[in-house]
Each structure stands twice: as structure tokens, then as C-alpha cells.
Amino acid sequence: MGSQEERTDVISGSDCPWWDASMQFQVKDLLEDTLCITVFDKGYYSPDEFLGRAEIRVADIMRDSKDSCGPIQKRIKLHEIDSGDVILKLDLRLFGSR
């Protein structure tokens, strides 16, 4: 989101990896910010292979989670490839200024 970047650990030996990683990003604009996810296959003896990219707008997370008391789960199609998706558990926490 913006210049913020997080990376997961590398999952070896799986065609269907499960990362189970928690990440936090600071939202600057609820209506304009977009969370971008890029997926690669780690190449130890060759360049990393691009597996796709997914995006979700923070406004969509806010809309979908307004009636939820906890995280929501979203399946998002990976773009720039023929097939694939990622499943994300998302929780938007808003803090007011004092």
C-alpha cells in the first residue's frame, strides 16, 4: 500500500502454499488506498517466477466488513496470469484522532 511493503517467508515444496502471516499497513486514504498482493515462486538457481498480482481497495474492505465483528475472508483472482487466486483474511481497524 503506497510505499509500504511486507514479505512472507518462503514456503518450499508446495503447489498450494499456506502462509499464515499477519501484516499491518497504515491506511492514509480510506477511499483511494489499494492493497496490492504480488505472488512469486522462489527461484533458488534461477530468477523468481511471477505467479500473479491481486488488488483490493480499502473502501471495499471497509464496505464488506461493516457488519462484521472480526476479520473477513476474501478470495481474489490473480491477474496477469491465466488462473490462480489468493485467499486473504482482512481486518480493518479505524482509530480516531484525539
CATH number at residue 42: 2.60.40.150
Task: Indicate if the pLDDT at residue 35 is higher than 70.
Answer: yes
Establish if 83 belongs to a structural domain. Answer: yes
Whether residue 41 lies inside any domain: the answer is yes
In this model, does residue 71 exceed pLDDT 80? yes
What pLDDT shows up at residue 15?
A: 76
Domain-embedded: residue 4? no
| Extended strands (E) in 1-98 | 34-41, 49-57, 72-77, 85-90
In a domain, 12, yes or no: no
Question: What is the average pLDDT across 15-38?
Answer: 89
Residue 98 confidence (pLDDT): 53
> Which pLDDT value is given to residue 3?
86
Structural domain of 71: 34-90
User: How many domains is the chain partitioned into structurally?
Assistant: 1
Count of positions (residues) in the chain: 98
